[in-house]
Structure 1
Amino acid sequence: MPRTPLDRRTLQRETWLVLGVSLGASAIYAVLSIMRRLADNRPLNQQASQLNVSQAAQAWLDLLYQLADIALALVPVLLVFHLLRREMPSPASYLGLDRSRLKPDIALGAGLAALVGIPGLGLYLVARAAGLNTQVVASDLGDHWWSLPILVLSAVQNAVLEEVIMIGYLFTRWTQAGWRLPQILIVSALIRGSYHLYQGFGGFVGNIAMGLLLGLVYARTRRVLPLVITHALLDTVAFVGYALLHNHVSWL
């Protein structure tokens, strides 16, 4: 763990500010969203959560919106690299986001994706059947030549943003602040689950479980890249699979 000139209070304040301009803000809005949904007269499984939605009637302008959303969502990642660079020459290498172990990272990421993905789909279907989750509309971009590439880019952006901040950055800063590993694991996983509450309680529970698993893997390997690969594969399959199959599979 790199030495830091920052005291414990400053370290904790920094992490909450980073969360406040990124995934912590998403968690607040997700909590408000689930409150609004519960106040609705319809059961959760009769409501929909839309991801990757079209933002303009003109295809070229919609594409520009999608690219801008993806690029701007990665600014918090650049922010945490900037903050960590005060204490280490290469934050990406320290967090395990480099290519020094590319083949093992890919293998581990793919294995974790299979381990998480199948039970995750089962949990989603059970939660929807029980009225505890919304229908997740993973893509509503329309039929454009750029729709599938944008969905893949969106999946990679989600993976980089969440795993760098929720795992690499928070685990580093909270360890420097004197937190114990179980405390870091639980708080990080709860935040991860919270910003998925807009989907319903299935998304909340499933992402807590995923956060705990990925946090344990990081604590053992000190590598964020396999976690990014895992997350990117899961979201790519969800986004692209929905776009290709939703007109042909009744339960999507």
Structure 2
Amino acid sequence: MLVLGVSLGASAVWSVLSLLRKLTAEQPLSAQTTAMNTTVTPDRPWLDLAYQVAGIGIALVPVLLALHLLGRDLGTAAKAARYLGFDAAAVRPDLARGAALAAVIGIPGLGLYLAARALGVNTTVSTANLADTWWAVPILVCASVQNAVLEEVVVVGYLFTRWAQAGWPLVAVIAASAAIRGTYHLYQGFGGFVGNVAMGVIFGLVYARTRRVMPLVVAHTLLDIVAFVGYRELAPVLGWL
């Protein structure tokens, strides 16, 4: 609870409040836009870059906390990372599984997003709103990696380990992890919730079988790079995005 409280659990609380704010606004949900990866100081690009880098770095602190706490049981944080499969022990299989997972989830995920928007139960998600600078794309890639590492190490690797130690059955572990993942995406709307719950179930099943978090990190990183960088490049010419 404490690890979640300083990371994605807190994000879930803010996400629920964000959804309530949007549902009670004058505009319908489908007419609203959710902006991500936004510029902080557009008139001072150097300071904006500092904000973006600091945000990415601070967001990874809960990952270090989770590895530290688990490392108290296993000896060191490095041993904890290896225990979760958050290492480079199987690079090629991890990359292959991650790419396959990204393909399996990405295409249906885009369809679900468009369907939810058409049904009026999701906002339009604008995923890349940085100024037009030389560092915009690198920052979006780094943000993708940060999101993947934070979510997969904490919500899958760490929580699966702790809940298993507490005697939870695997079905309950997967369901709880997926529900948390969906909840902290509610700020996008109900489509974001459903899509991320489904993603959480798939990722949970893969982790239960492989005991490696790295394929999930790879898949999540690829999905976010496509969502962030792809949106930045394609949104000006594809109005339906």
Q: Normalised by the size of structure 1, how large is the TM-score?
A: 0.93
Q: Which residue identity is paired with 1:75?
A: V
Whole-Å separation in 1 of the counterparts to 2:203 and 2:194: 14
Cα shift at 1:201? 0.2
Matched, 1:93 2:82: yes
The 5 A counterparts of 1:1-252 are: 16-56=1-41, 57-89=43-75, 90-252=79-241
Equivalenced residues, count:
237
Q: What is the root-mean-square deviation of aligned Cα atoms in Å? A: 0.6
Percent of aligned positions with the same letter in both sequences? 61
SS at match of 1:100: coil
Cα shift at 1:44? 1.1
Which runs of structure 1 show a deviation greater than 6 angstroms over 4 or more consecutive aligned residues?
Answer: none
SS at match of 2:74: coil
Whole-Å separation in 1 of the counterparts to 2:227 and 2:9: 23
Q: Deviations over 1:157-211 (max 9, x none)?
A: 0000000000000000000011110111111100100000000000000000000
Cα shift at 1:87? 1.3
Q: Which residue identity is paired with 1:72?
A: I
Q: Which residue identity is paired with 1:60?
A: W
Cα shift at 1:246? 1.0
SS at match of 1:86: helix
Q: Which residue identity is paired with 2:114?
A: L
Q: Which residue identity is paired with 1:251?
A: W
Cα shift at 1:100? 1.0
Cα shift at 1:43? 1.4
Q: Which residue identity is paired with 2:7?
A: S
